[in-house]
Structure 1
Amino acid sequence: MKRLPFVPGRWTRGALTLMLLVAPAFVGLTAASGSAHAAANPKAGDPCTSADLGRRYPFIKSATMTPTITHFKTFFVTAGTTGQQIITLENTTVITVEVGTTTEIRAHFGITALTFVEGFVNRTVKKITASTDKEVQQITWNFLAPGYYGLFKGTRKVTGEYGSLNCTSVDKGAGQYATEWIERPGGSYTTYSIMEEGAIRCEDVVPPTSLMRLAQIQLGCDGVAAKERAERQARETREQAAQDRAAQDQAAQDQAAASEATETGRVVAPFAVPPGFACEAGYYRVGTSDRLLNWWNQDGTDEIRLRGWSTSSRAQWSLCQGPVTNGRAEHVLITRYSGKCLTLVAGEMTVEGGRFFEEDCRTVDDRQRFYLYRDVPGSALVGVQVKSGGFMLGQARVADNEVLRQYSMGMEDGTGTYLLEKIA
């Protein structure tokens, strides 16, 4: 691959800064630049190669740890009833592991992001699909003295923001270009650390920022239980009102969308281009960098597969550019044979290995919208990212008849970098 010459300027890297904000209810951490995972992982501004165009990495921007009581039960022990007891606790707060908008942590990107969270806060956290309401709710405790007890389970809720890194061509000025890792939109995450359990009485002296202190408050030891309940009820009322407003707004949007579908139809007619998109003249083939295998649909199926080069219009694509979102232009790819759009299979938006096929182009559908990450000028190599979930396009293996799929972090071996070659 021929690259234009580039002489880097002088770079200064600041030291990683961690801010520990200790308060009665939480500990927050923020990275001033980059993230706290191993130096071997890329950072924004680091150089990358053409093999990285089809890859994607997460990084952690911030983290807040909040001690949280998830299960609680008051229990009165009278004289003569001491000893070991098995008590069933009640759910009080539910924490669900979430990365972005999904609670199904199956993709490599989400697992890797939570692994980086673990290193960032230096504490073991859940890195799989999990929720505290699925944790064991019984507790066995040996009561040595009569009294009024609060039995609890709790954890450290960990929340924060993550970012995403992609490799693409960067204009360095004076006609010079280089490929670098750039920051792309990420989202928020939630997870939690190891569950803890215990029993507490009002007369016990405990650290002010501990789960035991939260349990004492919930037990009502210092007269703030009523205030806590009132604040919780007010918060629930506000949240319900917000949900009601959101439901009303969604209903209005659905009605407007239905009206649009009735008037103009949501499915664009074959060979039509979605509104707001303009197609480049001629056609492209898209395939492996060695020009041996290309994207096209096999006879008798709508699936897009890797197949050998052919003059068939099944292997020719129109490249159409549309609006800019999140700092990059959206694209649709329309097959010349049928006039249909490259589309991620419905129901597989967050599935590692989700498949692509051709389907009628739609006015609005993020499963048909793609971002392109390009090599330096003079090269036709690209990485392709689906807008709906941020996954990168790839395939299980580079072989004839392999289905085109999506992978949350792309292809580690570089086979998610494709050749976008003008042919007509």
Structure 2
Amino acid sequence: MARLRPLLRSALTLTIFATSAMIGTTAMSGTATAAADPVIGQPCTAADLGKRYPFTKSATMTPTITHFKTFFVTSGTTGSQVVTLEHTNQIQVAVGTITQITANFNLGVLGSVQAFVNRTVTKTTSSTDRESTQMTWNFVAPGYYGLFKGTRKVTGEYGSINCGRVDKGGGQYATEWFERPGGAYTTYTVMEEGAIRCEDAVPPNSIMRQAQIQLGCDGAAAKERAAKQARQQADEPSTAERTAGNVVAPMAVPPGFTCESGTYRIGTPDRLLNWWNQDGTDEIRLQAWSSSSRAQWSLCQGPVSNGMTEHILITRYGDAKCLTLHSGETASEGGRLVEESCRTVDDRQRFYIYRDVPDSIKVGFQIKSTGFMAGQSVVANNQVVRQYSMGMADGTGTYLLEKVS
């Protein structure tokens, strides 16, 4: 390796397990300010019911070759050479199933990952180059080389911290921060490039070592290709997963859900504005209270998933449609909540409800499909109800779920 251009030092594959320290969105700057972040088990207030914060539970760093080319240098062909590298792997930044990293929560996840692994990671909508690429290398000795570009793929699990009612036992309840499910994330560190030979001594589990394997130095190249193909096949969604959610539920109420008697209105804590559809569009907006059935909702409970009961909300007006996250805005910060025909399987129509202590009707709503919280840009008449990845920082994602009949 003394004859090659110096490379960035490669680190061992790192698996980090969750610690008790919580890392929030401020970790994006590389400095964790845990004192300002919510901590599981600490009290929260009713104003926090519509909020959500990320934290990193685990991280694994895996050296990954993204571009590669074998190159044979004879004694007469040393010197500077331009070599075209072929694409071998693509890494795409993702938080859960979302690859468009625009929401505050997703940015917060990647920021907390960076602080967690103490290494710069990509925190934007990005992927490694999937096309062939050229690099210029100065070969000072003949030999059989593997030219490469690579990075450390960072994968792991993230969690969510929400505020809600906690049963303390003995008939006692409190409103506290508690852990909720998150999902998996993928990102990557800075890109590296270089050239390697089989006779070069390199650190184990490094990017250079991965390049040696791809060069075939120990006969493991075929095994790596087979493992890659198996991973790709495992990542492909099944036909059932692709088609789920397209069946309209008969009689509005999906199987497995039971509706409570009477109806509810959902409104701001001052009771001046409520969720309903006044202007003939499908959008749910903040409007002044009316006795119209447009402003009345049936609350239906279904199965328990991720530790909480799923709910659907059915408008009592007209065709009795379900509250739904807009299909074209599932990954969008500010995606609209609308009313659509109720479906037997559709997580855009499933909600988790975070409640205050008993006898309080203050709640926060979370969309199951995205984990985002319900809110609006400002509390004003005719504002559309939307989803926000971390909820509303000013507490305006807290609503009253009030029975009216």
When the two structures are superposed, what TM-score results if normalisation uses the length of structure 2?
0.87
Shift of 1:352: 1.3
Shift of 1:82: 3.0
1:376 aligned onto 2:368: no
- 1:180 corresponds to which letter in structure 2? E
Superimposed CA distance per residue, residues 266-285 of structure 1 (whole angstroms, 9 cap, x where no aligned partner): 3434xx43332222222221
Higher mean Cα deviation, 372-381 or 87-96?
Answer: 87-96
- 1:356 corresponds to which letter in structure 2? L
Aligned partner of residue 142 in structure 1, secondary structure: strand
1:232 to 212, 224, 231: 224
Unaligned runs of 5+ in 1: 1-22
2-side partners of 1:194 and 1:240: how far apart? 23
- 2:149 corresponds to which letter in structure 1? K
- 1:106 corresponds to which letter in structure 2? T
1:350 aligned onto 2:331: yes
Which residue does the alignment assign to 1:31? 18
Cα gap change, 1:157/1:407 in structure 2, threshold over 3 Å: closer, same or farther? same
Which residue does the alignment assign to 2:366? 385
2-side partners of 1:215 and 1:241: how far apart? 23
Superimposed CA distance per residue, residues 24-64 of structure 1 (whole angstroms, 9 cap, x where no aligned partner): 96111112434455312223212211111001111111111
Superimposed CA distance per residue, residues 283-321 of structure 1 (whole angstroms, 9 cap, x where no aligned partner): 221111111111110222121101122222221222122
Aligned partner of residue 166 in structure 1, secondary structure: strand
Shift of 1:409: 1.1
Which residue does the alignment assign to 1:3? none
The answer (yes or no) to whether the contact 2:337–2:384 under 8 Å persists in 1 is yes
Which residue does the alignment assign to 2:378? 397
- 1:422 corresponds to which letter in structure 2? K
How much is the aligned-residue C-alpha RMSD, in angstroms?
2.6
1:315 aligned onto 2:295: yes
2-side partners of 1:240 and 1:350: how far apart? 23
The answer (yes or no) to whether the contact 1:35–1:61 under 8 Å persists in 2 is no
Cα gap change, 1:273/1:409 in structure 2, threshold over 3 Å: closer, same or farther? same
Cα gap change, 1:242/1:158 in structure 2, threshold over 3 Å: closer, same or farther? closer
- 2:223 corresponds to which letter in structure 1? E
Which residue does the alignment assign to 1:12? none
1-side partners of 2:291 and 2:73: how far apart? 83
Which residue does the alignment assign to 1:85? 81
1:144 to 128, 136, 140: 140
- Residue pairs, 1:178-217, within 5 angstroms: 178-217=174-213
Which residue does the alignment assign to 1:268? 250
Which residue does the alignment assign to 1:8? none
2-side partners of 1:123 and 1:240: how far apart? 27
- 2:250 corresponds to which letter in structure 1? V
The answer (yes or no) to whether the contact 1:279–1:321 under 8 Å persists in 2 is yes
1:420 aligned onto 2:401: yes
Aligned partner of residue 51 in structure 1, secondary structure: helix
Aligned partner of residue 214 in structure 1, secondary structure: helix
Shift of 1:134: 4.3
Unaligned runs of 5+ in 2: 1-9, 24-31
Aligned partner of residue 109 in structure 2, secondary structure: helix
Aligned partner of residue 377 in structure 2, secondary structure: coil
2-side partners of 1:399 and 1:123: how far apart? 43
Cα gap change, 1:286/1:177 in structure 2, threshold over 3 Å: closer, same or farther? same
- 2:254 corresponds to which letter in structure 1? P
% identical equivalent positions: 67
Aligned partner of residue 328 in structure 2, secondary structure: coil
Shift of 1:230: 2.9
1:293 aligned onto 2:273: yes
1-side partners of 2:229 and 2:155: how far apart? 23
Cα gap change, 1:209/1:343 in structure 2, threshold over 3 Å: closer, same or farther? closer
- 1:137 corresponds to which letter in structure 2? T
Which residue does the alignment assign to 1:132? 128
Which residue does the alignment assign to 1:16? none
Shift of 1:237: 6.1
2-side partners of 1:220 and 1:158: how far apart? 25
Superimposed CA distance per residue, residues 134-181 of structure 1 (whole angstroms, 9 cap, x where no aligned partner): 488222222233333221111111111111111101122233221111
The answer (yes or no) to whether the contact 2:95–2:186 under 8 Å persists in 1 is yes
Structure 1: 4+ residue segments shifted above 6 A: none
